[in-house]
Each structure stands twice: as C-alpha cells, then as structure tokens.
Structure 1
Amino acid sequence: MRPILLPAVLLSAVLMAGCAELRAPRVAQPVPLALLPVGQDPVRAGIEMAAADFSNQGVGLRGKPAETARAIARLEWLTAVVSTDPRYRALPIGLGMALRASVVETREALGMVADTPPALATSSLTNIAAALDAGTTPVVPADIFPAGAERTLQRLTAPEPFPQSGIATGRLADTVAELDRSGGWNPGAGDPRL
C-alpha cells in the first residue's frame, strides 16, 4: 500500500506548490505617467500609442532613440497590464501570448536581459528617454543592458524591424475596439475602462 501512496503524496506536493503561485498577489504595474497623455485612460492611450509606434514594423522609430525607448517602455508596461489584470481577461489568450512574444522581440533587439521585471524595464527605458530628450548622457544599467551604454544607444538609434510587435499591437487595438463596440467585456470583471 505504501508504494502506491508515495506517487500520490509527491503529486500533491507539486500541485500545492503550484497553487502558491496562484495565491500570490499579482505584481502591480505602476502607470508610467511620463509615457502617456494626461487626462486619458492610460491603458487605452497606451494601446493606441503602441499600435502607432510599431505600425509598419516600427520603421518610424529609426533615428529616434528617445522615442524608441519610450515605445518599448510603453509596450513593456502595456503587456504586463493586459496579461495580468483580470479586467482584460476577455482578450483572447493568443493575443496575450503575441504581446509577450513582442516583448521578447524588443528585448532581444536592445540586448536586454530576458528576465528583467517589466516595471524595471519600463522605468529604465523611460529614464533613458528623458536623458536623451534633455541632451544628457543616460544611465544605462549594466544589469539590464549588459552590452553597455554605447551599444544600447546604437540599438535604440537604429533598431531592427519589429514585425511581431507590429502585429501584436495592431491586433490589440483592433480587438479592444471590437470589444468596446460589441460590449463583449467580461461581465464578472467589469469594463476595463477607468
């Protein structure tokens, strides 16, 4: 009887450990006020801006390092919010996966550390953009951008195309607009408009 119970006990322990992750409170993503217009729903504004930033694979960002940093910072924040906030659970699962893939794409393009927390990536890129706008040398944290400041700034100035980000942000804007028109937001979580 004992050998039969051992696998069940081990399986229970693994399942209980997984439940701990579900019970943990979700990490709040601070609204990056420097990246969004004042007086608008930040998520809706972020969605519209991200779709514009990455339209045509983000070619409009070339030669604009501060704007590239802001665009990627907004994408980091937006992806974290719509992926974790229960108000956005009406969005298709595949869309969340596409947004996360776009974050991987932009991080690889900049040479960022893959597991950087989204809030830290957002604030670091926002600070880099602000320094560039002010004409000062930005602080480029080596623990996030191991290639160093010079290489990171080169990548911000001449970013690679962002095809995944263009597709994901465009789909997000279209899906949110359709959910608004159809009233298809999750009734249990409420309409995510603030």
Structure 2
Amino acid sequence: MHTPNASSTEHTDTATRILDAAQDLVQQCGYNAVSYGDLADVLGLTTAAIHYHFSTKADLGQALVARYRKRNAAARSTIWAEEDGARGRLVQYVNGYVGILEHGGLCLCGVLAADDETLPEPVRREVRHFFAEQEDWLTTVIAEAHAEGAGLAGYDSPREVAELLLATIEGAMLTTRDRGPDAYRARLHRLIDTIVS
C-alpha cells in the first residue's frame, strides 16, 4: 500500500484549505467579488502559493464546484438510503439547504448561477451539471410519490414539479434570507406538503 509522504499530504491539505476558504467567500460574496488576494489574506498565504495549487481562477472555480457536486451527491445518496418515502426524502433534502443558510451562506451553485454570463466556461458547465443532477434526483423522488397520486395542481409530470421545487429552493434562499432559516424551512415544508400531502 502506498503511504503518502509529508509533502503530498501538505499539498492536499493546502489545496483543501484554499477550496474551503474560496467556498465560504463565494457563498457570501459571489464569484466575481472574490480574488486570489482575498484568499491569500484569509489563509495567510501568498497569491503565488494559491496559483501553485490552482493556476487560474477558472481552475479554482471548476475544482470548487466539482467538489460541491461530489459532496451533494453523497448527501443525496445518504438521504435515499435513510428515508423510505418521498416526503421524508424531500424534507431531508430541503434541510440540507437550511443548513447552508444557518451557516450564513447561500447555495454555492445558486450564487454562481447568478454570475452565469461572466463565468469561465468550465465553471459554467459544472454549475449546469449540478442543477441537472438536482432535477434528475428530485424527479425520481417525486415520480415515486406521483405514482401513488401525489402531485401539484397544474403540473402534469414529476419533472415539472421537480423543476418548480428546485427553483423555489434556490429562489427562496434569496427572498427569505433576511427572515432567517426557520422561515425558509417553513415555506419549503409547506410546498412539500402540497406535493406529497
């Protein structure tokens, strides 16, 4: 078995610290407002050290969203395994977004989507993959409930309901942020109750 040497472990740790700091800053300020200088100040590194790990901001952004997608996929897998029904799965899914608000941020990909036209293409592509994955997963969850008669008035397919739910999850993060996580949670739980009552 290969044992990583101290230098490769240090490299990974520094890259992780950079990604963690970048995610915090982007979730609070937006992609275009964050510079390598900001990251250097937060981390106590030089900008050259950040460039060593992520040559360009596009490289950093792409790595950031790829990691976010991977973590989100793992969270969805856990929800699927631990919850039996559509309502429980949707509630747990929403609670993940509530947790983001509780920590003072917004969904990373929601923030990035607001900057879509100015994002580098690799970052834009990762963000669009994220939303496609969310819609696919929500469609699968809602389709199971839909087969049992659940749905939403005026929406004919689980895909349409999934698209509406995801748009509401992302949009409500912005419109209820000043009211706090509890108001956000309450609004989304009411929508879930309507979908799978």
Under a length normalisation based on structure 2, what TM-score does the superposition of the two structures give?
A: 0.27
Higher relative contact order, structure no. (Cα contacts within 8 Å, ≥ 6 residues apart): 1
Higher helix proportion (structure 1 or 2): 2
